[in-house]
Amino acid sequence: MSGLEVEDLVVPRGAFRLGPTRLATAPGTVTALIGPNGAGKTTLLRAIAGFERPTQGTVRLDGKELGPLPPEERGIGWVPAGLGLLAHRRVEENVRYGLDLRGDPAAREKGRAWTERLGLSELARRYPRQLSSGERQRVAIARALAVEPSLLLLDEPTAALDADAREALVRTLRELLAGESVALLLVAHDAPTALALADRVHLLERGASRFDGTLSELLERPPNRFAARFLGFENVLPPEALSAPTAGAIERRLSALAGPGGVAVPARSLRVRAGGDGPEARLRARRGGPRTVLVELAGLSLLGEADPAQPLPSVGGTVHLELEEGEVRAITA
Amino acid sequence: MSTAARARAAAPGALAGVLSASLLGLFLLPVWALLGFATPAGIVHESSDPQFWAALDVTLQASAIAVAASLLLGVPLGYLLARKRFPGKAVIRSVVLLPVMIPHLVAGLALFLWIEPGGTVYRIAHWAGVPLLDSIWAVALVMVYVGASYTVLASEFAFRSVEEDALEAARSLGASRTDAFLDVTLPTAGRGILTGALLTWARGVSEIGAFLILAYAVYPGAGYTGPVTSPVSVYIYNLYGLNLHAAAAAASLLLLLALAAFLAVQLFERWGRLPWRRGEVGA
């Protein structure tokens, strides 16, 4: 089979242990690795790239077992979180570094083409220190892709970027990958990057795989509270928060919808109105967007969305809630 | 902000400025006093003394040998200390610091007892054509002993500054361990290693205590019948006991030569095509 296949991979790192992990990516697809800090995302990428020694399991790329191969013989593009640009070489020299190592007679032309493709032509004579974070990120990606790997690993490519630079990078990656056969496996620390790029999501928590599937599957059945928060559900409630003796109609309804890990409620599912028949709550603050408000309900703080048709009372006043259950999701574990 | 508040805010900076100026004055004023005492005419006169140049020649030859030996032996040790994990690292680092910490007369005496005439080390070295007492090799040995620590420590620091990410990215692009060392580690650590070598050189040139025991009357080696001389520091020390003006002139000449070497290194660095260190982020 072509693409990446990781089977029952176990990587110990001191007291931490990754795996056993199973993961597959097909050519031309994007898989986002997500998970809280310390989940093992970077360890998994490093193990695939050949920088960690697994004690168990296999890594195959395009059907070839990579286990005994050193990093330089794996043919995998690796862009670490720190990028690893060669500070003493210009942008154009960085981009063609891998081609030069291979003795490619067309290294200059190919390097120039990749420099142009990543919008770096005007920066080609600069050194990495003379570039912004986003520009450096593009140099690192151009350098990794220049040697035409069948798999590209990106470790938190958007972590050091502001919102504009992140969007620009995501756009660039989408354009680059369109119609290409390279598989991309990236650690995504933010939902916009994962949502904009990924075909599949692999969730790690404390070294164990918790979910592997499509984004829509993840949105439909968030496997844990981290995933629910990552996906942008404003209210992520554990089961115990819903079973207080003071629980009212809303909490009881949410409790009925909850899974073993609790319930995820988007703010837009909780309508906040000045009047009506719904259960009463106290308006505590106006937050975020113009319609997002924080309400208190028998000791439970929830983010809801104000009904634009009804002006709300001032903070501290009484409001009425209405739950729209369609987008409420049970957390499965 | 009120005048009193402004004065309070400025006080720490002013105090730091006064203290810094005091230290810089301490560095510079004795040099000024030396040059003033030596007088330009005295320096010119000393520069025509062949004994000064013979002594300087011994110092330069021996320091070149010492720097080469320190690089050969010290850079690998610096690399191991920076990049490898092994038991006893703290002990090894303490051993590296030992020559820096002990008085150099003590170092000279220890070296003398280690290579005492008739001893095994002495006989092996003599058999190999490297006489270890009162020879240029003895001068170089002392210089390595008192100065190589700087190469080791500067190399360790320099190798630590090499990003693991850069090494790994290079490996993933097809670089072997050797390629990665040559393409990533050395260019990044090179400047720090060079700084260590310069410190080793400067420490060796300024040494005198251990020379007085191990290499007092230097001749280049067995079979040599020419004039006996000393490293330049010993030469100046000897002059000091005979003629203070001549000693000050010789010391000033050495100082000017060292200054010229320092400026040459600075210029080399400017010309040395290191623009990647001068770049500004986001330029």
- How far is residue A153's CA from residue A187's CA, in Å, rounded to a whole number? 8
A276 plus A300 within the same structural domain:
yes
Helix (H) or strand (E) holding A101: helix A97-101
Of A257, A301, A209, which Cα lies nearest the Cα of A23? Answer: A209
Q: Is the pLDDT of residue B283 over 50?
A: no
B28-67 per-position pLDDT tens digit: 999 999 999 999 999 999 888 888 898 898 899 999 999 9
- How far is residue A206's CA from residue A333's CA, in Å, rounded to a whole number? 14
pTM recorded for the entire structure = 0.74
pLDDT on residue A252: 77
Q: Per the CB < 8 Å rule, is B170 touching A86? A: yes
Residue B98 pLDDT class (50, 70, 90 cuts): very high
> Which is higher by pLDDT, A166 or B278?
A166
Q: Is the dihedral of CA B278, B280, B281, B283 positive or negative?
A: negative
* Chain B residue with the nearest C-alpha to that of A46: B168
- Partner A contacted by B273 (CB < 8 A): no
Q: Are A182 and A150 in contact (CB under 8 A)?
A: yes
pLDDT on residue B282: 34
Number of folded domains in chain A? 2
- Partner A contacted by B169 (CB < 8 A): yes
pLDDT on residue B251: 93
Q: How far is B186 from chain A (nearest CA, A)?
A: 11
A185 plus A248 within the same structural domain:
no
- How far is residue A130's CA from residue B278's CA, in Å, rounded to a whole number? 9
A27 plus A95 within the same structural domain:
yes
- How far is residue A268's CA from residue A144's CA, in Å, rounded to a whole number? 42
For range B122-148, the mean pLDDT: 86
Q: What is the CATH number of domain B60-230?
A: 1.10.3720.10
A17 plus A89 within the same structural domain:
yes
A142 plus A213 within the same structural domain:
yes
> Which CATH number does the domain housing residue A141 bear?
3.40.50.300
pLDDT on residue A178: 77
- Residue B97 phi/psi, 5° resolution? -80, -15
pLDDT on residue B279: 41
Q: Which of residues 8-47 of A touch B (CB under 8 A)?
A: 46
Pick the last residue of a domain from A222, A251, A269: A222
Residue B115 pLDDT class (50, 70, 90 cuts): confident
- 3-state secondary structure labels for all residues of A282-312: EEEEECCCCCEEEEEECCEEEEEEECCCCCC
A198-207 per-position pLDDT tens digit: 888 898 888 8
| List of chain A residues whose C-beta atoms are within 8 Å of the C-beta of residue B188 | 87-88
Q: Kindly provide the ipTM of the predicted complex, given to two decimals.
A: 0.80
A28-86 per-position pLDDT tens digit: 888 989 888 888 899 999 999 999 889 999 999 888 888 888 999 998 999 998 899 99
Q: Is the pLDDT of residue B276 over 80?
A: no
pLDDT in tens, chain A (333 residues): 678 889 888 999 888 888 788 888 888 888 989 888 888 899 999 999 999 889 999 999 888 888 888 999 998 999 998 899 998 899 999 999 999 998 889 889 988 998 988 888 888 888 998 888 888 988 999 999 899 898 999 998 887 777 777 778 888 888 877 777 888 898 987 777 777 788 888 988 888 888 888 888 888 888 888 888 888 888 888 888 777 766 677 777 888 888 888 888 888 888 888 887 777 778 887 765 568 888 888 778 888 888 877 777 777 888 888 888 888 888 887
Q: Domain containing A258: what range?
A: 230-331
> Which is higher by pLDDT, A82 or B268?
A82
Q: Could you give the percent of chain B with pLDDT greater than 90?
A: 37
Single-letter residue type at A172: T
Q: Are A125 and A157 in contact (CB under 8 A)?
A: no
A309 plus A187 within the same structural domain:
no
A183 plus A265 within the same structural domain:
no
A173 plus A302 within the same structural domain:
no
